[in-house]
Structure 1
Amino acid sequence: MTTVSHRPALTAVNPKNPEEWIQRAAEVAAILAVDAAERDRAGATPFEEVRLLKESGLVTLLGPAEHGGGGQTWPTAYQVIRTVSAADGSIGQLLGYHLLWFWAARLVGTPEQIAHVEAEATKNKWFFGGAVNPRDEDVVVTDEGDTIVFNGHKTFSTGGKVSDVTVLEGTLLGSDTHVFAIVPSDIDGLNFHDDWDNIGQRLTESGSVSLNHVRVGWGQAAGFVDKVFQPRVYNTLNVPTIQLVFVNFYLGIARGALETAVTYTREKSRSWLHGGYEKAVDEPYVIDIYGDLTSKLWAVEALTDAVALEAQVIHENAWNVTAEERGEHEVRVAAVKARATDVALEVTSRIFEVTGARATATKEGLDRFWRNVRTHTLHDPVAYKRREVGRHLLTGELPEPTWYS
């Protein structure tokens, strides 16, 4: 039994502002940090961890206040994701993906769908998963009159068995029109295969899923009116929004690695016997590396926060955002994604240079930080992010909206 299920009570007072929500995330992180390495090794389905996210209120952080939600904005949500990820990258990813899919109705839905989904999701504290892996195009949606039917397979479906609802995506038969729908995760025909067995992010329930005659009403097809999709530029904001989710849990994992390593160096590392220093914290190379890694992390965190504030302006203008505004924002997101990837990988690998050979013991769990970052940063090649930035600088070209840009 993990300590997550035998945890101290959270602060009774409900958070009311961004600072209090970030503090609530820090409380959750402190609970998760106690046995993060143990839970990573066990790889068990994180039912208790998701229960903690629900009880803390973090799952309804973006929900309307009139329905009991936090009523917060994406800049606060990104800080919360980063804070939780410092303790447990898997749970930070689950929370980040949940918040993105909670927002899915706003991204592609009609005003009526947005109001309905956000009210129900907030009041019932739905935890969202998503079967929307864009590399898999074999989910077909068939029009059967008043209903549509999803059939196919997705290689990845983050959230899996711990989700209450799942966002589905497929292509309408005989067209190139994509259809999104939010369905109960226990709906007939939706089968999670429990085959996530990767080196990192082990608790994200990101295995494959099959859709066998999953039937929903046309009214659940997000953004469709009379079976016709109602397009707007904001529909394409799902990519930069989730890429900033990625950035923040990468940086959170890096922060957790650095803080864990600092504690180890202070309490357990030994100075080199030929260095002439009594304590590891006095070793010049140790001081230099920590200073270097901390400076780089601070710089990317500052850029990330700036880009998050830029994104909020677009979210507040969702119905009128232009293609140019969207494209320029995507370039900024691409830049911060590239830097966060590089810095997170560097921090999580170089901490061993300043903790020493004994720090590689399995019981210390320091390897989980690198495994987590290395696993998820392969989601899409960072070279293509740098290319977006370079082409915009040289030619003024804006990225064409795709599943990855």
Structure 2
Amino acid sequence: MDATTHVDSLKSLRASGVLAAHVPERLGGPELPASAIAEITRVLATVDGSLAQIPQSHFVFTRWLLAGEHPEEESLWARRLVDGALVANAQAETDPVVLDKGLISGTKRWSTGSIYADYLAITARRPGEDGQSLAAFVPIDAEGVRIVDDWRGLGQAATGSGTVDLDAVKVERLYDRARALAMPGYGAFAQLLHAAIDVGIMQAAVERVVKAGVATDRLVNHQTGELVQRTWVAAAALQQAAAEVDRLFLSAGDPHRGALAVAAAKSWIAEASVDVTSRIYELLGAASATTTSGVDRYWRDTRTHTLHDKRREKLEILGRAALSGEPPELGTRL
């Protein structure tokens, strides 16, 4: 896979209207609940894990765009999204990216979807600030923006998660990061979509086994049943977590309960997906262990994607909340 792998697929995705998922009905959009967006993400992942991950941050950031911080901009953004505009993230950094006198400079790493995008959601800080405090939504062809396709992952190879260099990029409209983090279910929604990707990849892997197998051997039946069982449970966990986030979108749920529900589902799904995509080799045989069989992509994609988030940290948070009764601190990962 290379940078051109999903160009045609993304043309179809843009034309489908899916990228306008958060656009309110009053502005001509579908205004989908979190569960529907998670389901879209899961389905995309059954086709290809990279394809599902490309719009993940788009769904997170466009909800922020349409949350009322700059109401005068919402109609414009709604039209862009309905027309198929794709927003990619430019968040991760090894050194601080700084906004100074209206100009952003620095380097962003692992900017998923950037090579396919129309706009970048760039997070930054002001001089003297300890952490990221703001975001700007910038066209990819803005002066001073340079996107480098240098992502060479073991899996999720076609996500376009490369480097973005920013050299005195002018920004006119700023968004408050603290306000985004205060949105009901902000982090839980982002994590829900990551869990949906893992479920979709796992389901595709098991489907590969089912299509190749014949129910004549009791041991094969048993082993296949184990994989099917884990996949069903993963899908059920995803649905239950999605229902919790739906309630948060309606401001009707407990943010901490929702975050813990997603953390529980995601940590279990991550473990199950890596296990299932590894064990399919036992059923598909030696021929599946070649680089030309295509079977390797399921494990490579889940192994790479599940490293986004430390499963052990999720489990520690779940245990501490259960034992102490204290609500967890919410953020981008919870």
User: Under a length normalisation based on structure 2, what TM-score does the superposition of the two structures give?
Assistant: 0.92
User: What is the match of residue 197 of structure 2?
Assistant: 249
C-alpha contact (below 8 Å) 2:190/2:332 kept by paired residues: no
1:199 equivalent in alignment to 2:154: yes
CA distance in 2, matches of 1:153, 1:200: 23
User: What is the match of residue 239 of structure 1?
Assistant: 187
| RMSD over equivalenced CA pairs, Å | 2.2
SS of 2:171's partner is strand
Instruction: Output one character per residue of 1:76-115: Cα deviation in whole Å (capped at 9) or x when no partner.
Output: 11111101110111001113222222212246x5151673
Cα drift, residue 45 of structure 1:
4.8
Match of 2:244 among 310, 324, 327: 310
Match of 1:188 among 132, 138, 143: 143
Equivalent residue letter for 2:319: G
Equivalent residue letter for 1:168: I
User: What is the match of residue 86 of structure 1?
Assistant: 46
Equivalent residue letter for 2:174: A
Match of 2:302 among 373, 382, 391: 373
Cα drift, residue 73 of structure 1:
1.4
C-alpha contact (below 8 Å) 2:185/2:248 kept by paired residues: no
C-alpha contact (below 8 Å) 1:64/1:122 kept by paired residues: no
User: What is the match of residue 59 of structure 1?
Assistant: 19
Match of 1:158 among 104, 108, 112: 112
Matches for 1:2-401 after TM superposition, within 5 Å:
40=1, 42=2, 44-106=4-66, 110=69, 112=71, 115-116=74-75, 118-133=77-92, 136-142=94-100, 144=101, 148-176=102-130, 178-217=133-172, 220-223=173-176, 231=179, 234-235=182-183, 237-266=185-214, 281-317=215-251, 325-401=254-330
State the identity as a percent: 27
Instruction: Output one character per residue of 1:230-279: Cα deviation in whole Å (capped at 9) or x when no partner.
Output: 7476347432111111000100000011111221224xxxxxxxxxxxxx
C-alpha contact (below 8 Å) 1:359/1:366 kept by paired residues: yes
The higher-RCO structure (CA 8 Å, 6+ apart) is: 2
C-alpha contact (below 8 Å) 1:105/1:113 kept by paired residues: no
CA distance in 1, matches of 2:315, 2:289: 33
Larger radius of gyration: 1
Between 1:296-305 and 1:195-204, the stretch displaced more is 296-305
- The verdict on how the C-alpha distance between 1:345 and 1:356 changes in structure 2, with shifts beyond 3 A counting, is same
- The verdict on how the C-alpha distance between 1:73 and 1:156 changes in structure 2, with shifts beyond 3 A counting, is same
CA distance in 2, matches of 1:404, 1:72: 22
CA distance in 2, matches of 1:291, 1:149: 57
CA distance in 2, matches of 1:113, 1:355: 56
C-alpha contact (below 8 Å) 1:165/1:182 kept by paired residues: yes
CA distance in 2, matches of 1:56, 1:353: 38
C-alpha contact (below 8 Å) 1:137/1:171 kept by paired residues: no
C-alpha contact (below 8 Å) 1:84/1:91 kept by paired residues: yes
